[in-house]
Amino acid sequence: MQLEHEFTVPVPAPDAWRVLLDLQRIAPCMPGATIERVEGDEFTGRIKVKLGPIMVSYYGTARFVEKDEAGRRFVLEGNGRETRGAGTASATITGRLHEQQSSTRVTVTTDLDITGKPAQFGRGVLAEVAANLLDRFATCLADRITASPTTATPATEEQAAAQRVSVGGAQGDGRSMDSEAGTLDLIGTVGLPVLRRLTPALAGLAAVLGWLVARRARSRVVVHVHLPAYEERTRRPWLAGVRSRLP
Amino acid sequence: MIPPQFDYVRPRSVEEAVAALGEHGRDGDAKVLAGGQSLLPVLRLRLGYPTVLVDLGRAAGFHGVREEADTLVIGAMTTHHEVMTSKLVRAHCGLLAEATSTVADPAVRHRGTFGGSLSHADPAGDLPAVARAFDATMVVAGPGRLRTAPASEFFLGHMTTALEPEEVLVAVRLPKLGSDWGYRYEKFTRVAQSWAIVGVAALVRRSNGVIAEARIGLTNMGSTPERATATEDALTGRAPTDDAVASAAALAAEGTAPPSDLNGRADYREHLARVLTRRAVLAAAMRTR
């Protein structure tokens, strides 16, 4: 499935490019993630995503397969495996930087393929979770950039205000940007429990996670009810047993 | 399946519960155990692996229904069965009793709790939409303080609420409604006892033959419970005739972003919202005196 998101970084595109591709710098901003090893363009780490009582953690690697500075486009590929389950996740994340006056709009397209229990979550939920992670990533990044002495500090209140990060999640399923952005703002303000650090690559992985439907699992049959991703062609060995019990 | 290993804490009061969450919740892996009707399946399916469960089962201060002037205060650990059979709830907040009686099955209703259901914030859960319709106030305990949050600011997303990791829902305050209010919870399910594909919680106040005020909560029409504000506005000041209600109910899905899943696509849910809103408002208006 494909997910679309965007966020804004409060510096011009050339600076934004340098920041976004600097793993050491952005890693602490990704909620729920830890990076264990960096080798050139490849890095290894884990990410934990929570949704209510449900948690999924992945261990995996990601690497930059394309860094086109002139075209301001990068492509990141990641693969992960659930640390407590049989599921897998892989993502190809394409980022594009669009210059705006004194800031940069970054659009992120994620091609996501997940197996295992999280595959239950429909694209709406996955997109919401991913947008949420990216939102907090972008906010953290903006805070660090504006706090950093190496970048120009805003001269006026207006500029400072203009530098506040805005995030919107646009999705292909027809949900309006406005309502999505509203949700994100709220969540961003209040903050989800846990999550800590990570990198943009892992952002994709994060998307992957999503959430599960245990809810329906009140016990018995109810598990069935929620196979939102039924059509999405993901392999769900876990479900085979459940599906056979559907009415 | 056997749940993953966890530590177990059983506080005896609200203060102890908050202290336990403060101690174990900082890494975010402590979970509050209320009735366990959603959390235990999650653990048994190994969809979650909290390190600590804070069991409120024997904590004082979370339980029961009481009156405070024009408000009903319902403890978070009050079970669904207790809520739906409470004389106070039935007399003053009939919508809540009615909606609660549709939650799952009797076994779940005897264990599951009002506050647990709200804190779990499942988009398909019935009670969050009811809380929105009542404009309920959540009473939340955190380290060294008690705060309140209106229902409109409590539900933030899929299974996500404004509760911080070290906070716990203590009680919910609902306004007592007089007999000029009518109510109805309409719920559409594929099989009995399953989750709502869409639900509509309607409160209607009639005055001089016309609808003076309508409050309509929507279940499963987005990642949070919504209010059908366009319908509410269109109903205000109108006599509750079939035509007037039908044309107002046609606006019920405006501004919502319902999910598409195996139970139905988003447009089907929008259709359900319109139909169920019409039924709920008409039934609610009939109940007013």
What is the residue extent of each domain of chain B? Answer: 7-55, 65-174, 181-287
H-helix segments, B101-250: 106-111, 114-120, 127-134, 151-154, 229-235, 242-249
Residues in chain A with CB shorter than 8 Å from the CB of B29 are 194
Q: Say whether the ipTM exceeds 0.85.
A: no
Chain B closest-CA separation from residue A133 CA (Å): 13
Nearest residue on chain B to A194, alpha-carbon basis: B28
> Which of A114-118, B168-172, B269-273 has the weakest average pLDDT?
A114-118
Q: What is the pLDDT of residue B27?
A: 65
Instruction: Point out the residue among B41, B120, B157 whose CB comes nearest to the CB of A128.
Output: B157
Do B224 and A183 lie within an 8 Å CB cutoff?
yes
Same fold flag, B65-174 and B181-287: no
For residue B35, name the pLDDT band (cuts at 50, 70, 90): very high
Comparing alpha-carbon positions, the chain A residue that sits nearest to B49 is A55
Domain B181-287 falls under CATH 1.10.3470.10? no
> Is A225 close to B255, i.e. CB distance below 8 A?
no
Sign of CA dihedral A11, A15, A17, A19: negative
Q: Is A51's CB within 8 Å of B162's CB?
A: no
By C-alpha distance, the chain A residue nearest B157 is A183
Residues of B in contact with A50 (CB under 8 A): 28
Q: What digits encode the pLDDT tens for the residues B90-137?
A: 999 999 999 999 999 999 999 999 999 999 999 999 999 999 999 999
pLDDT in tens, B168-188: 999 999 999 999 999 999 999
pLDDT of residue A247: 45
Name which of A55, A56, A213 to mutate to probe chain B: the one with the most chain B Cβ atoms within 10 A of its Cβ: A55
The CATH number of B7-55 is: 3.30.43.10
Instruction: Write the DSSP assignment of A158-189 as a string of letters.
Output: HHHHHTS--EE---TT---HHHHHHHHHHHHH
Q: Which residues of B touch A242 (CB under 8 A)?
A: none
What CA–CA distance (Å, rounded) separates B201 from A118?
31
* Chain A CB contacts of B229 below 8 Å: none
Q: Which residues of B170-203 are buried (b: 16+ CB within 10 A; e: fewer)?
A: bbbbbbbbeeebbbbbbbbbeeebbbbbbbbbbb
- Quick check: A117 and B29 CB within 8 A? no
CATH number for the B65-174 domain, one of 3.30.70.141, 3.30.465.10, 3.30.420.40, 3.40.50.2300?
3.30.465.10
Give me the residue from A173, A187, A225 closest to B195, CB to CB: A225
CB–CB contact A222 B195 (8 Å): yes
Dihedral sign computed on CA atoms, order A145, A149, A152, A157: positive
Inter-chain residue contact B158 with A214, CB threshold 8 Å: no
Q: Which residues of A touch B153 (CB under 8 A)?
A: 186
B241 to chain A, closest Cα gap in Å: 32
Q: Rounded distance, CA B196 to CA A98, Å?
A: 43
pLDDT band at A33; cut points 50, 70, 90: confident
- The Cα–Cα gap between B265 and B189 comes to 14
